[in-house]
Amino acid sequence: MRIGLLVAAALLLAMPAGAQTATPAPNSVAPANAAEGDWVLAPKDYANTRFSALDQITRDNVKDLKLAWSFSTGVNRGQEAAPIVAEQTMFVVTPYPNILYALDLTQGGALKWKYEPRPAPAAQGVACCDVVNRGAAYDQGRVFINTLDNHTVAVDAKTGKEIWKVKLGDINQGETMTMAPMVVNGLVLVGNSGGEMGVRGWIQALDAATGTVKWKAYNTGPDSEVLIGPEFTPFYEQDRGKDLGVTTWPPEAWKIGGGTVWGWISYDPALDLIYHGTANPGPWNPEQRPGDNKWTAGIFARDPQTGQARWFYQWAPHDLHDYDGINENVLVDLEIDGQMRKLLLRPERTGYVYVMDRITGEVLSATPFAAVNSSKGVDLKTGRLIENEEKHPVLGKVIRDICPAAPGAKDWNPSAWSPLTKLLYIPHNNLCMDWESVETSYIAGTPYVGANVKMYFGPGGHGGEFTAWDPIAKKERWTIRERFPVWSGTVATAGGVVFYGTMEGWFKAVDAESGQVLWQQRLGSGIIGQPVTYLAPDGKQYVAILSGVGGWAGAIVAADLDARDATAALGFVNAMSELPNHTTKGGTLYVFALP
């Protein structure tokens, strides 16, 4: 059997002995135009499962994986992108200058064409945390990418010719774009970055054929601009009221309040809702922005055709520690207390795995998956995070040993869900920090932070973990400790194997049930990219990963930062001072297959 189809019969065939049966959610499939074995969106499917039904590579034979081919991107900065596959072609987008490569899978990855958008060089100077890009999207013969200088571009998948290019933001205001687009029913959904520059966050929908903006929703400000109307029915009382995006801020502060959308977007076709997170409020210093700071550090459910909000939930009201809210929302249907529920799974930067009803926005459970002392849990009655007052930032005072650190227990790096094991595979951090709030002033296009931070490894003395989490039992099944934060994404497969990478450069395959490392290969640079697996024209299953250390966690290497400056890279350098001893810069795509 070469391909395990996403139906119950094939899942049973692919299932290892003793595994639990499971039927995937009906929306856990790629868009209808995607060929079987392709990977057309960075998160694989609308539900953000990053699960592949391919099953040639198994826990028994993965030890035989060999390098099939590789490709140098020519850009030695942080490679966070997921390669995508369609039309017998792999498409890879680089960090700045955001070159899009098309590699011919019928010719062993030979270069077919490249598209160079030539973003403004000045965009590099306002990028918060490296000049990264998280991938492209494919739909109906077009490839869509975002550029660091705030353009969304559509390129002809066969020729590499530009179809349209639309400017959506302004680098002079500190805006950039680093996220991977999501394509839903002819709309390209994109958002901005720049919360550390005091930008005002938004999400926009563009017509996939023309690039015309169909709607734009801000995440701070009056209801009319946030697209909150009569259909908005949040579950919790604190999210109800008129113009909370204004009244939960000091006067005019919402105009420079952050709440950007640089992470992941999910879509439920049955409910016809998209789900997207909103990032941290600005500045980091919370004393300069009293109030809940709506609608930052939370999640919106919206109508994809109109942008109108249906519900909202805030992970961290009045975010104290830069915990953001942009992580992936994994959509699954599971039985809870004898009832099938439409759920949203979310490993959040606050350190909790949230299990939510994705119809209403109700939090059903929130359980720590990492070291947490900045809060004491989540009140399921009110939905609010229970803060630990001992860890509150105070102006002019150093508050020590705050866990998790500002990148959270898990940053943007996406988890994967397997409907076979019913486990969520979470690459994450084990970081704590010291924090000193300071006064800051807003100047357009310059940092608007207001905090001095120093990060370090958390309990146990290691920086990261790769964890299998059971969301029903609300507990860890197994975990692998890693020297540095696990800043890569992951992919789960029907062959019972899960793949991820380490910042030292090890690409690993582990048993999805037990966590045993079955295979590992050292690559040329640290791994912060997103692994994918696909079926090539030769009928074989391949696994691809970009190697190239960088991003916020790897900035010390990618940007040649001085390890003696503990507060560099917003405090991350202190935790990563030894990383230059373990890896170097890089920018190479590696593709593996069985002999």
Average pLDDT over residues 572-590: 98
pLDDT tens string 167-225: 999 999 999 999 999 999 999 999 999 999 999 999 999 999 999 999 999 999 999 99
Cis peptide before 595 (omega within 30 of 0): no
- ∠174-177-180 over CA atoms, to 5°? 165
pLDDT at residue 68 tops 70: yes
Asked if 360 and 313 touch (Cβ cutoff 8 Å), the reply is: no
Structure-block tokens of residue 564: 């003696």
3-state secondary structure at position 287: helix
pLDDT over 90 (residue 16): no
Average pLDDT of the chain is 94
Residues present in the chain in total: 595
Residue 2 belongs to some domain of the structure: no
**Core vs surface per residue 338-348: b (16+ CB within 10 A) or e:** eeebbbbbbbb
281-298 burial: b if 16+ Cβ within 10 Å, else e? bbbbbbebbebbbbbbbb
Residue keyed to tokens 């991938």: 135
Number of Cβ atoms within 10 Å of the Cβ of 212: 11
How far is residue 277's CA from residue 263's CA, in Å, rounded to a whole number? 7
Residue 1: pLDDT band with limits 50, 70, 90: very low
In a domain, 344, yes or no: yes
CA distance 503 to 557: 11
- On whether the CB atoms of residues 247 and 241 are closer than 8 A, the answer is yes
232 in Cβ contact with 323 (< 8 Å): no
Note whether residue 3 is domain-resident. Answer: no
Q: What pLDDT is attached to residue 324?
A: 93
Interatomic CA distance for residues 169 and 175, integer angstroms? 6
Could you tell me if residue 574 is inside a domain? yes
Amino acid in position 94: T
Q: Does the pLDDT value for residue 133 go beyond 50?
A: yes
**Which of 38, 72, 18, 40 lies closest to 524 in space, CA to CA?**
72
Three-state DSSP class for residue 404? coil
CATH number of domain containing 341: 2.140.10.10
Q: Assess contact for 395 and 437: CB atoms under 8 A.
A: yes
Question: In angstroms, what CA-CA distances link 141 with 53, 167, 189, 212, 469?
Answer: 23, 22, 17, 18, 37
Asked whether the predicted pLDDT for residue 26 surpasses 80, the reply is no
Would you place residue 32 in the very low, low, confident or very high pLDDT band (cuts 50, 70, 90)? low
Q: Judge if the upstream peptide bond of residue 250 is cis by omega within 30 degrees of 0.
A: no
Q: Which residue has the tokens 């077919």?
A: 112
- pLDDT single digits (tens) 353-401: 999 999 999 999 999 999 999 999 999 999 999 999 999 999 989 999 9
- pLDDT band at residue 138 under the 50/70/90 scheme: very high
**Hey, which residues does 176 pair with through a beta bridge?**
193
- Three-state SS at 338: coil
Domain of 72, in residue numbers: 8-593
Question: C-alpha dihedral over 227, 277, 471, 497, to 10 degrees?
Answer: 130
pLDDT range class, residue 12, cuts 50, 70, 90: very low
- The pLDDT tens digits for 462-508 are 999 999 999 999 999 999 999 999 999 999 999 999 999 999 999 99
* Alpha carbon distance, N-terminus to C-terminus of the chain: 17
**pLDDT number for residue 109:** 98
CA dist 466 and 3 (Å) reads 27
Instruction: Tell me phi and psi for residue 568, to 5 degrees.
Output: -65, 155
pTM over 0.85, yes/no? yes
pLDDT bin (cut points 50, 70, 90) of residue 33 is low
List active site positions: 196, 280, 322
Cα 78 from Cα 529, distance rounded (Å): 8
Indicate whether 28 belongs to any domain.
yes
The residue assigned the tokens 């969304």 is 152
Q: Which residue has the tokens 């999400």?
A: 203
Which element (helix H / strand E) includes 296? none
Separation of alpha carbons 327 and 346, rounded Å? 7
Q: What pLDDT score does 34 carry?
A: 72
Angle at the Cα of 198 (from 117 to 293), degrees rounded to 5?
Answer: 125
Domain count, the chain: 1
Pull the structure tokens for residue 75: 């850009």
Whether 573 is covered by a domain: the verdict is: yes
